[in-house]
Structure 1
Amino acid sequence: MQQHKQSKTIEHHEAAPAQRIGHAFAQASREGRCVLIPYLMCGFPSVEQSLAAILAAIEGGADLIELGLPFSDPLADGATIQHASHQALEHGINITACLSIARQVAAHSSVPLILMGYYNPVLAYGVQRFCREAAAAGACGLIIPDLPPEEAGPLLEAAHEQGLALIFLVPPTTPDERIASIVRVAAQEPRGFIYCVSLSGVTGARDRLPPHLQSFIARVRRQSAPYDLPLAVGFGVSRPEHVAEIARYADGAVVGSALVHLLERHAADGEAQRAAVRDYIRSLRACTVRQP
């Protein structure tokens, strides 16, 4: 019954927003590289600066953009993104404001947008209303780090009705059987990718990627390969050499905390801030090409 309902949903959405995520990964694969996914917090350091930074990241070569929805208790995030989240909240940024930012970005660019936030505000806003308005604002997918697949039924259904992908996180401590169950849920159409968390802990820029990362990605790949589901790596990714390493064995790299630091360092000069974001993303994009 559920499968029939999902099939009807996809027929209704002839070009589901989530398909744009798949197209971005497919295009990058044809070009022999991984996708680059910058994360930027909506409303940080201000609405105007966050919008300018998002567009600068797109100019720099971002393939997809994660738009952070601020929350008072972001458990998966380290101090850097927590600070950005709290500052955005102090500026009055809520879901409505975040959807407005997404809408403005979508009006200027076709780069797929993924909304990343916590379940409490979404639940308070109304799951169906949130998904409906997210799709209308130009979003293609959702990442809700504190929502496990076992409890995601209502949001999964509402997202799929709007053609949105619901993207799940897989940390490196996850047993193979659980990876397989997450992959099965994530592979339902419309779908996005698997977000592989590089380390046990919270977000934040690191000097180096963990030594177990390649073997962890190989474990996830064994489960995802039958579904041809892309794998993106996030948490701790901040340097061009990190992206170059990830490009060897994964399909995407997510960078977040380093961008928050960059925005703060150039907060007093909007033009310098935009240039810094654009140049930083270009430096990462140059390293997405897989070396022979």
Structure 2
Amino acid sequence: MSTSRVEAAILTAKRERKGALIGYLPVAFPDLDTSVDAAIAMARSGADVIEFGVPYSDPVMDGLVIQEATQTALKAGFKLSQLFEAITRVTAEVDAPVLVMTYWNPVVQYGVERFAKDLKAAGGAGLITPDITPDAAAEWIEVSERVGLDRVFLAAPTSTDERLRMISEQSTGFVYTVSTMGITGERSELDAAARVLTGRLRDAGDKLACVGIGISNAEQVASTLEYADGAIVGTVFVRALRDGGVDGLAAEVREIAQGTTS
């Protein structure tokens, strides 16, 4: 299988710096146009991969800052068509690949094949699916292979070695390596389990592992990239957009991106 755009972006970041910065934002927060401008600014300020989150009514993995942002989008009448519009507009302006972080129910309700084809047509690179595991994702695996989209599954510190092998085999782009058990949000110190889990994924055959949940500053990015291929940052970027607008977000991304070179 050829190298995907997400893999290529991470490998380029590893070659040119210490590794990749992956930035998360909810689509349509605080409104559609601003979220598009914010994603473009994020890419231009140092993010190698953009992660657009789909607002969802029951975000079991998300911390308070992201929950409040997605609720704002939902209350404003968010529709999945806005996701595809946003990706089309972002990918027309920047080269950074755009992944979609989504709970599985919206994809099923929309139709798995229809969702995949519309995502591909919009220029999207694939899906991060926090609440579906490879053994329950046969339809998505088949459709993503056929349409040409990455599928990023999550690995947790509690995953067995057998499950890690399955996740490694079925993920493309990278494996989303959960740094600590619990919801997303900033932590003053990253759980050492992230380093151990990344090592276990290497042993399971995984090529690229990016660590998320709890990374909130340049020092933590630099520390993460000592053992992982990418660092995923969400909550602090959403807060920066909420409090400082697109300019505030861009400044925060530039600051945190320094961790990819330090």
Same fold, TM-score > 0.5, yes or no: yes
User: 1: distance between equivalents of 2:194 and 2:253?
Assistant: 23
Larger radius of gyration: 1
Map 1:151-230 → 2, pairs under 5 A: 151-186=136-171, 191-225=172-206, 229-230=207-208
Q: Structure 2 regions of 5+ residues with no counterpart?
A: none
Shift of 1:212: 2.8
Report if aligned partners of 1:62, 1:285 keep a CA contact under 8 Å in 2.
Answer: yes
Q: TM-score, normalising length from structure 1?
A: 0.86
Q: Structure 1 regions of 5+ residues with no counterpart?
A: 1-9, 11-15, 267-272
Other-structure match for 1:233? 211
Other-structure match for 2:43? 58
Report if aligned partners of 2:194, 2:211 keep a CA contact under 8 Å in 1.
Answer: no
Secondary structure at 1:139 match in 2: coil
User: 1: distance between equivalents of 2:141 and 2:80?
Assistant: 19
Shift of 1:67: 0.4
User: 2: distance between equivalents of 1:81 and 1:263?
Assistant: 11
2:260 matches 1:288: yes
- For residues 206-242 of structure 1, what are the alpha-carbon distances to aligned partners after superposition, in whole Å with 9 as ceiling and x for unaligned? 11211332222211221135xxx21000011111111
Pairs aligned (count)? 262
- For residues 225-265 of structure 1, what are the alpha-carbon distances to aligned partners after superposition, in whole Å with 9 as ceiling and x for unaligned? 5xxx2100001111111101011000000000111111221
Other-structure match for 2:231? 253
Amino acid at match of 2:37: A
Secondary structure at 1:70 match in 2: coil
Report if aligned partners of 2:21, 2:231 keep a CA contact under 8 Å in 1.
Answer: yes
Other-structure match for 1:150? 135
User: 2: distance between equivalents of 1:132 and 1:274?
Assistant: 30
Report if aligned partners of 2:84, 2:119 keep a CA contact under 8 Å in 1.
Answer: yes
Report if aligned partners of 1:69, 1:94 keep a CA contact under 8 Å in 2.
Answer: no
Report if aligned partners of 1:206, 1:237 keep a CA contact under 8 Å in 2.
Answer: yes
Report if aligned partners of 1:102, 1:138 keep a CA contact under 8 Å in 2.
Answer: yes
Report if aligned partners of 1:115, 1:143 keep a CA contact under 8 Å in 2.
Answer: yes
* Aligned residues: CA RMSD: 1.4
- For residues 156-198 of structure 1, what are the alpha-carbon distances to aligned partners after superposition, in whole Å with 9 as ceiling and x for unaligned? 1111211101100001111212111211222xxxx21000000
Q: What is the percentage of aligned positions where both structures have the same residue?
A: 37
CA 212–147 in structure 1, closer or farther in 2 if over 3 Å, else same: closer
2:75 matches 1:90: yes
User: 1: distance between equivalents of 2:193 and 2:173?
Assistant: 25
Report if aligned partners of 1:34, 1:251 keep a CA contact under 8 Å in 2.
Answer: yes
Choose the corresponding residue for 2:220, options 230, 239, 242.
242
